[in-house]
A and B are shown apart, each in its own frame.
Chain A
Amino acid sequence: MLIRVNGKEEQIDQPLSLKELVLRKGLQLDRIVIEHNGVILPRSSWGSVRLTEKDTLEIVSFVGGG
């Protein structure tokens, strides 16, 4: 299935939860924020959200800025 992560298309070959996807990417859960199809999801819900075809994710974290 095809999803879009941070503006780029990604092929996913098996059913995944949002949390599993993030862990697969090697991201640390406590420093990211996720918008799933335009809705910000609380961290506690990531394990129960199943990714489906054409889902759009924005995964962001804090960086230096003025």
Chain B
Amino acid sequence: MEDLFRVGGREFQSRLLLGTGKFANYAVMKKAIEESGSDIVTVALRRVDPGSQADNILDFIPPQCTLMTNTSGARDADEAIRIARLAKAGGAGNWIKIEVVQDNKYLLPENLETLKAVEVLVKEGFVVLPYMSPDLSMARRMEDAGAAAVMPLGAPIGSNRGIKTRELVEIMVREIKVPVIVDAGIGSPSQACECMEIGCAAVLVNTAVAISENPVQMASAFRDAVMAGRRAYLSGIPEKGGLSGAASSPLTGFLSDEK
């Protein structure tokens, strides 16, 4: 049976979502997106810089990808809602990653303002995926408010530290019905694989690909790691044992005499 990723009323092949920030240029970004196999790609909105005649990033995103605009830069629900409406008016569709950050040191999300934005934007017909601190009761509220998925952080944005929130995310995976997507902090393919092994529906990666020495190759490494982790999860990973060993070969006497 084909294992499709269902989110926001749609079906996708890939469980790796790719961010488009920090790439050296759009040509490399485009190749990385293609190599990643990602079906969902995030972008951001910023005030224009008059005089800068940069290329339009949207021209470098493969047309089959679903665009998801993040609300980075928003400090409260109202700003996030404004950004979402601007993104839609700009032709980026109605998929929105809510990102509300008030804390400039750790870039940790503000869950309550995030929830308020989810409530409003779902009613306006947006497909809303909130980036959040991994808190079960808040995730339940997001789900009840109509969030298409919940996106707990693994570690602070851009920190490459991996899934430091593992046990809290595992609880969310068990209890939340909408997809749980780990967003932020994933710095290497093994870390992405770990997220998938514990049952997360998908992983969103940006920095680890974009600032690597070879972003295109790293994108394919993440693609393979996410697929491997997913297959392992679906195969049923055996429980960990204690410190002593449990032989995987028969332990009957072979070369020695019985005593």
On A, residues with C-beta under 8 Å from B are 6-7, 25-28, 30-33, 35, 40, 42, 58-66
Contacts and interface: CB of A to CB of B under 8 A. Distances in A.
Given A62-B92, A65-B20, A66-B206, A7 B47 contact: yes
Contacts of B207: 66
Contacts, number: 92
Contact of B47 (A58, A64, A66): A58
A26 B46 contact: no
16 contacts: A6-B47, A25-B48, A28-B53, A32-B48, A33-B45, A33-B87, A59-B48, A60-B46, A61-B48, A62-B58, A63-B46, A64-B23, A66-B21, A66-B157, A66-B206, A66-B207
Given A59-B48, A61-B48, A31 B206 contact: no
A64 B48 CA distance: 13
Interface of A is mostly: mixed
B47 A31 contact: no
Contacts of A62: 43-45, 56-58, 69, 87, 90, 92
Centre residue among A28, A31, A32, A65 by max chain B CB count within 10 A: A65
A66 B89 contact: no
Contacts of B89: 33, 40, 42
Given A26-B51, A32-B48, A62-B44, 8 more contacts: A25-B51, A40-B86, A42-B89, A60-B45, A64-B44, A65-B21, A66-B21, A66-B207
Contacts of B51: 25-26
Interface string B1-41: 00000000000000000011111000001000000000000
